[in-house]
Amino acid sequence: MTLDQSAKTAQLYRMVMPDHLCPYGLKSKDLLERQGFTVEDHHLKTREATDAFQREHGVDTTPQTFIDGRRIGGYDDLRAHFGKEVPQEDETSYKPVIAIFSVAFLMALAVSWAAFGTVLTVRALEWFIAISMTLLAVQKLQDVESFSTMFLNYDLLARRQVRYGYVYPFGEALAGILMIAGALIWVAVPVALFIGTVGTVSVFKAVYIDKRELKCACVGGSSNVPLGFVSLTENLMMIVMAIWMPIRMYWLG
């Protein structure tokens, strides 16, 4: 529909109750205002008023937006009406991984600046990898049960020893934290080397040999990240750190 730019008024019906303020109603109002509309904001203040509105218009949900007398629909419908992307629940996305690696990189630079007064240090790179490991582990630890279930789809060791799927995120977190501190490297190195090697072999087999299309458990069991490059990178980073840390500490000082 082509909007008449001279008619910029919309009617919005949303739940505004003492114990519930509809977040999608607020998002709809904000979106309409950003599109230049004057919003006639109608509050549905009781459950009875909401039910009556839904019966009258033959809808099951609120908020509902009307423009030029035409019902547009809820928040997702409104986004589509304005030509904006509508998130799909099962759509694969690399956004969680991009967010984690970006924050880890900035944190590493911040720690390097605090410790050395500069961001361009070898330790900054080490901290980036170690912080990434811990942030990824946190994603898994939010729901270990869900992670372990998704992990069983491709990890070769977990398929033989199911409990390994429950241990993995704790091992990744432990190795990452010790590498950030530069402490107990004799513990961090074998843990990172072991889980990194098993993970690399498992992902490579599932994706590049068996050609399976799976979701990656690297950012938790509810992830929509495709299995492949990201998980392979995660495991290779652990292997690199496991090899590099002893070299730096015992040969380079």
List beta partners, residue 154.
Answer: none
Confidence of residue 3 (pLDDT cuts 50, 70, 90): very low
Domain residue spans in the chain?
Answer: 9-81, 95-252
Give 182-209 pLDDT, tens digit per residue: 889 899 999 999 999 999 999 999 988 9
Q: Are 251 and 132 in contact (CB under 8 A)?
A: no
pLDDT of residue 29: 93
Q: Can you give the pLDDT at residue 216? A: 79
For residues 221 and 150, the answer to whether their CB atoms sit within 8 Å is: yes
Query: 15 - beta bridge partners?
Result: 44
Q: Which long-range contacts (CB under 8 A, 24 or more apart) does 96-102 make?
A: 96/139, 96/219, 96/223, 96/225, 97/218, 97/219, 97/225, 97/230, 100/132, 100/135, 100/136, 100/139, 100/219, 101/132
From the list 105, 135, 131, 91, the residue with the least C-alpha distance to 223 is: 91
157-176 as b/e, with b when 16 or more CB fall inside 10 Å? bbeeeeebbeebbebbbbbb
Mean pLDDT value of segment 74-101: 81
| pLDDT higher than threshold 80 for residue 218 | no
Domain spanning 9-81: CATH 3.30.110.30: no
pLDDT in tens, 125-146: 999 999 999 999 999 998 899 8
